[in-house]
Amino acid sequence: MDTFIKGPSKRDVAGMKAAFGAIGETEVISVLYKTERFGNFLVTGAAHTTVLDDVMVGGLNAAAAKKKAKASDGSEVMQRQPDKDVRAFPAQFDGEFSPQDIEVAQLSHGDLVVASFSQEPYGDFVITGVVTEAENDRSYLMVGPWILQTAQGNAPRLLSIQLVAGNGTHVAPVPTRRGLVEVDGLA
């Protein structure tokens, strides 16, 4: 069930360059990211091209601006370099699951969820991934780099949340709890 969230054992950079080069503005895409801080998470939403021609989905960099490259037949093609955190594109879910509606307050670190968000200019998008808690604040929950809840309540951009599997009942990698990030030596 969870092979989609683990991703391939090796990144197919050449395949991703070509696939990113072929997408158009507002095309719905699915990108699998892998980060140490947030674990693996799948973002599905409309492609958004920045003023620098980078491609984003759900507010996350997916690929750099288009560049000309030579195809194997000698013709010229346009390609985009995938972001370093992109594990797979296009990312396809190859199993089945039946997520259940849940209140954010019922979630804890390591639960596998599907969360939908809305944020301009990215529109509506969905993140499937593992919930992470802050080390010293159990109420501060995130999926990928998006906030689900803080001590003040549910995040305003969160539209809905569903539980796919509780912590310990899935094979998705669970990152450690999120610690404070130091900026210029300050926490």
Q: Which of 152, 154, 150 is nearest to 136 (CA)?
A: 150
Average pLDDT of span 157-177 = 91
pLDDT value of residue 119: 93
CA angle (63 as vertex; 60, 68 as ends), nearest 5: 160
Q: How confident is the model at residue 25 (pLDDT cuts 50, 70, 90)?
A: confident
* Residue 129 CB-density burial (10 A; 0-12 exposed, 13-18 middle, 19+ buried): buried
- The predicted-structure confidence for 45-56, as pLDDT tens digits, reads as follows 999 999 999 999
State the alpha helices, DSSP H only, in the chain. 3-6, 13-21
Q: Which of 138, 156, 155, 136 is nearest to 147 (CA)?
A: 155
- The predicted-structure confidence for 115-138, as pLDDT tens digits, reads as follows 999 999 899 999 999 999 988 888
Q: Which of 27, 75, 70 is nearest to 47 (CA)?
A: 27
For the chain, the straight-line distance linking the first and the last C-alpha, in angstroms and rounded, comes to 38
**Would you say 139 and 109 are in contact if contact means Cβ atoms under 8 Å apart?**
no
Helix (H) or strand (E) holding 133: strand 123-134
Percentage of the chain exceeding pLDDT 90: 65
CA distances from 173 to 5, 18, 54, 134, 161 (A): 8, 28, 29, 17, 20
pLDDT value of residue 95: 62
Tokens of 116: 């939908």
- The predicted-structure confidence for 135-150, as pLDDT tens digits, reads as follows 888 889 999 999 999 9
Q: How confident is the model at residue 26 (pLDDT cuts 50, 70, 90)?
A: confident
pTM (two decimals): 0.89
Q: 185 versus 67: which is more confidently predicted? A: 67
Is the pLDDT reported for residue 72 higher than 90? no
- The predicted-structure confidence for 31-46, as pLDDT tens digits, reads as follows 999 998 899 999 999 9
The 3-state DSSP class for residue 4 equals helix
pLDDT value of residue 187: 45
